[in-house]
Structures are given as structure tokens and as C-alpha cells.
Amino acid sequence: MVSENVLGKPKKYQGFSIDVLESLATYLGFKYEIYVAPDHKYGSPQDDGSWNGLIGELVFKRADIGISALTITPERENVVDFTTRYMDYSVGVLLRKAEKTVDMFACLAPFDLSLWACIAGTVLLVGLLVYLLNWLNPPRLQMGSMTSTTLYNSMWFVYGSFVQQG
């Protein structure tokens, strides 16, 4: 964009593209002069096959390089070479920020309610089976050791095995 112009002095430009151009000129050691395309357009093909705007200036070799916020299209790529893009603009949508609410059941969100019911039913059923098997065939224990084979302990054992925690 054009910075503030003082009468009698040449126009000065500023912006990211100008900073890139200035860095390139310093690094590669060349001098440049900025001028705007006479028709103030980016460039589009005309009916006779010629180009107008910035692309036309490059095609007719009135300019060595062009620097602009220019969209790279297949038609333009057929007549001039582009560098890779160094800045992307995209469409953005603004939304009001959601209110933060604390939900103590957020940990249940990854699974559906029917799956949670199946998990709970499995823990109950397998816990009951473990209790019955321990009751029907109690384990042989060493002297002095005590273990409790209650239904609560069986359920807790199955749950601990299921979530791999004690």
C-alpha cells in the first residue's frame, strides 16, 4: 500500500510484499524501481489473446518481476512463472465464543449410552460368575493368609481387570 506521500517526493510503498522485495534486493544485490500497471489491474486475458494489468506488463517485458497479492490461476501460470506462495488468505467465519460449562459426565461422551450399558452389564455378569466359581470351588490358601471372596470383591476384581487398575 502507498504510505503517506509528501508533495514533490516519489511515492513510497509499504507492506509485507515490499519487505520481501527489499530483503531480496539486499540479499541478491539488485536495484529496483516500483511502478503500478497503467490500467491498475492484476491481469486477465483479453479477447485477442493478449493480457492486461500486471500480467500484461510481464508478458510484454515492460517489467522484470511483479509483486502483488495475486491469485495464481492456471491461465496465468501458462504465461508467467510464479514463486511458491508465501502468504495465504482464506475465508474465516467468526462465532461467539461458547460459554464454558463444567460437565461432570464429559468423560462418558466418547461412547454411546447403549455401549456403557453393555460394559456395566458385562462387569456385573462376569463379577457374578467369578463369585460363584470362587464359592463353588474355593481356592486352597496357605496357613495364616486370608482372602475374602465376597460378591463386592469379585465385582471390584473384574472392574479393576477391565480398566487395568487396582
Cell of 131: 463369585
| Phi-psi label, residue 29: left if phi above 0, alpha if psi -120 to 50, beta otherwise | left
Residue 17 C-beta-side C-alpha neighbours within 13 Å: 14
pTM, two decimal places? 0.49
pLDDT of residue 138: 72
pLDDT of residue 25: 93
The stretches in the chain having pLDDT less than 50 are 166
The full set of domains in the chain, from first to last, is 16-78 (3.40.190.10), 113-163 (no CATH)
Residue 77 C-beta-side C-alpha neighbours within 13 Å: 7
